């Protein structure tokens, strides 16, 4: 209201100034006092009409404002009454809820404890069923149990039957060997439908290989690395058996042991862990085998030629050591015993390097192999200490490569040395047997020649 009065006073001041200005303008234009008086009276009448119009407008606005004020005050009273009523209703509802909760607790009684037991059993069953291999054949069995475990109200008969049925199905199927059509997700990303054999709750077998059930993705997958050959053969025989009994290996950990096979290094991976030293040991082993095989073949051929020569000593041949020694005797029939013995010894000495050639090399290689393994051990330990210096001992996997090299090269050196030692003994015994025959025949020739000279 004060603001309206202030606005009217400002407007009146403006009109007064405008009238004064108009009066001044008229006074300048008036030529006589009568005209001036007439103009003033006209201006006064016009100003009165303007003031009356503004007063009427003001009174109209004042009435409208009063009506709006009364309307707002009435709305305020209505809202206050409504707030009071709602507060009373809220308080009454709180009392009703407390009474109903007390009534519900009285009516439920011991059913609340049963509900807790059911929810706990449902939660335990979900974990057992979702990770069970049986779920590969019967998927989505855990969905009903999840709703039961998360429920906020008492379960009904149907939900209790679902819990009982899930437990009974798991127990029953755990003791069966079932064959069914299942979708297998391959390692390359594709999938195909196969005949899958489920052995209780332990293993899945298909196409002679073991499968794993991934409960996170609900997929059947072949393991990246299958067990040993005899285990796979047993699985294949079991899969092809249509009647009777067949043995098979099972994983009592429900796939955990099979999963560990993917982390186990193969023989090829172990071999490559030896790195450069391991490859050098392999070269030594192969070279020793080549020399040994060559010597075995040549010594066997020489031994056969010597045996054939023993059957025909009167016709010596230059193609075998014994023939060449006999030829020395036939070329010196009149020589005395001492000179003949010297000539035969000289002939045997000429044959000895040919017979024993390469035998000592095998022995040297057999001695080098474990030393190279020891070299690999030292190199691996040096690398291990360098890793410890750079990265510390927080992560053992950083040192695993160098430690594997140290151990693998040691094993490779021993593995290479053992067969080389055995082969060396075989080759050496063959060469010694040949030299023994040559010595024996030379001694016999000398003795026979001495008898002839004595006679």
pLDDT digits (tens, 9 = 90+) for 386-399: 877 777 766 666 66
Strand, coil or helix: 193: strand
Asked whether the predicted pLDDT for residue 221 surpasses 50, the reply is yes
d(CA 24, CA 273) in angstroms, rounded, equals: 117
Q: Give the tokens for residue 324.
A: 């060449």
pLDDT cut 70: percent of the chain above it: 86
**93 pLDDT higher than 90:** yes
pLDDT over 60 at 15, yes or no: no
With a cut of 70, say whether residue 210 has pLDDT above it: yes
Q: Is residue 97 very low, low, confident or very high in pLDDT (cuts 50, 70, 90)?
A: very high
The pLDDT, as a whole number, for residue 20 is 47
DSSP line for 79-134: HHHHHHHHHHHHHHHHHHHHHHHHHHHHHHTTHHHHHHHHHHHHHHHHHHHHTSTH
HSE on the CB side for 108, CA within 13 Å?
Answer: 15
Listed residue (216, 221, 217) closest to 190, CA to CA: 221
β-sheet bridge partners, residue 194: 182
State the pLDDT at residue 26.
43
Instruction: Give the number of C-alpha atoms closer than 13 A to the C-alpha of residue 225, restricted to the C-beta side.
Output: 13
> Does the pLDDT at position 257 exceed 60?
yes
What value does the mean pLDDT of the chain take? 78
Stretch among 37-51, 62-76, 397-411 having the lowest mean pLDDT: 397-411
The answer to which of 8-17, 234-243, 351-360, 425-434 has the lowest mean pLDDT is: 8-17
271 to each of 52, 122, 244, how far by Cα in Å?
116, 50, 43
Residue 307 near residue 438 (C-beta atoms within 8 A): no
pLDDT band at 90 (very low <50, low <70, confident <90, very high): very high
Least confident of 91-105, 248-262, 366-380: 248-262
Among 54, 24, 17, CA closest to 39: 24
Contact 143, 129 (CB under 8 A): no
pLDDT for 14: 46
**Residue 10 has what pLDDT?**
41
Query: pLDDT at position 241, please?
Result: 82
Banded pLDDT at 208 (limits 50, 70, 90): confident
Q: Are 202 and 250 in contact (CB under 8 A)?
A: yes
Neighbouring-strand partners of residue 209? 206
Q: Highest mean pLDDT: which of 132-141, 373-382, 394-403?
A: 373-382
Q: Rounded to an integer, what distance in angstroms lies between the CA atom of residue 267 and that of residue 373?
A: 17
pLDDT band with cut points at 50, 70 and 90 for residue 453 = low
Higher pLDDT, 419 or 29: 419
More confident residue, 199 or 2: 199
More confident residue, 362 or 400: 362
- Position 400 confidence tier, pLDDT thresholds 50, 70, 90: low
d(CA 147, CA 123): 10
Split at pLDDT 50, 70, 90, the class of 225 is confident
pLDDT at 320 over 60: yes
Residue 17 has pLDDT above 70, yes or no: no
pLDDT digits (tens, 9 = 90+) for 230-248: 788 888 888 888 777 888 8
Looking at residue 3, its pLDDT comes to 46
pLDDT at 438 over 60: yes
pLDDT reading at 31 higher than 60: yes
At 391 the pLDDT is 72
Beta-bridge partner residues of 178? 198
pLDDT at 28 over 60: no
pLDDT at 449: 66
> Rounded to 5 degrees, what are φ and ψ at 319?
-95, 5
């Amino acid at each position: 209201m004060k603001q309206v009065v202030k606005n009217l006073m400002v407007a009146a001041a403006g009109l007064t100034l405008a009238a004064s200005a108009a009066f001044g303008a008229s006074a300048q234009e008036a030529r006589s006092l009568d005209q001036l008086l007439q103009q003033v009276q006209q201006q006064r009448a016009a100003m009165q009409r303007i003031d009356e119009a503004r007063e009427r407008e003001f009174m109209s606005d004042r009435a409208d404002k009063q009506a709006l004020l009364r309307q707002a005050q009435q709305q305020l009273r209505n809202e206050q009454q409504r707030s009071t009523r709602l507060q009373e209703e809220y308080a009454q509802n709180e009392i009703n809820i407390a009474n109903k909760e007390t009534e519900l607790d009285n009516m439920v009684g011991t059913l609340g404890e049963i509900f807790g037991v059911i929810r706990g059993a449902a939660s335990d069953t979900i974990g057992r069923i979702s990770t069970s291999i049986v779920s590969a054949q019967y998927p989505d069995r855990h969905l009903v149990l999840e709703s039961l475990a998360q429920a906020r109200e008492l379960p009904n008969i149907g939900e209790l039957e679902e819990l009982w049925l899930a437990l009974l199905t798991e127990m029953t199927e755990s003791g069966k060997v079932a064959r069914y059509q299942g979708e297998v997700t391959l390692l390359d990303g594709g999938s195909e439908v196969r005949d899958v054999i489920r052995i209780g709750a332990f293993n899945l077998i298909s196409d002679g290989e073991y499968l794993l059930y991934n409960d996170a993705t609900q997929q059947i997958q072949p393991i990246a690395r299958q067990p040993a050959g005899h285990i796979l053969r047993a699985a294949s025989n079991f899969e092809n058996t249509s009647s009777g009994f067949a043995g098979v290996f099972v994983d009592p950990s429900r796939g955990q042991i099979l999963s560990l096979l993917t982390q186990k290094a193969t023989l090829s991976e172990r071999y490559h862990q030896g790195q450069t030293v391991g490859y050098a040991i392999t070269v030594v082993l192969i070279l020793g085998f080549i020399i040994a095989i060559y010597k075995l073949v040549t010594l066997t051929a020489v031994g056969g030629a010597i045996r054939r020569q023993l059957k025909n000593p009167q016709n010596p041949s230059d193609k075998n050591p014994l023939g060449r020694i006999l030829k020395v005797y036939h070329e010196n029939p009149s020589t005395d015993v001492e000179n003949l013995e010297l000539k035969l010894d000289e002939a045997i000495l000429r044959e000895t390097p040919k017979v024993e050639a390469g035998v000592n090399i095998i022995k040297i290689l057999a001695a080098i192999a474990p030393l190279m393994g020891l070299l690999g051990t030292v190199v691996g330990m040096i690398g291990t200490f360098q890793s410890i210096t750079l990265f510390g001992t927080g992560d053992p996997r950083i040192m695993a490569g160098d430690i594997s090299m140290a151990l693998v090269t040691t094993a490779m050196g021993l593995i290479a040395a053992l067969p080389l030692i055995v082969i060396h003994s075989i080759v050496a015994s063959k060469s010694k047997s040949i030299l023994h025959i040559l010595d024996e025949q030379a001694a016999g020739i000398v003795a026979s020649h001495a008898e002839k000279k004595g006679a």
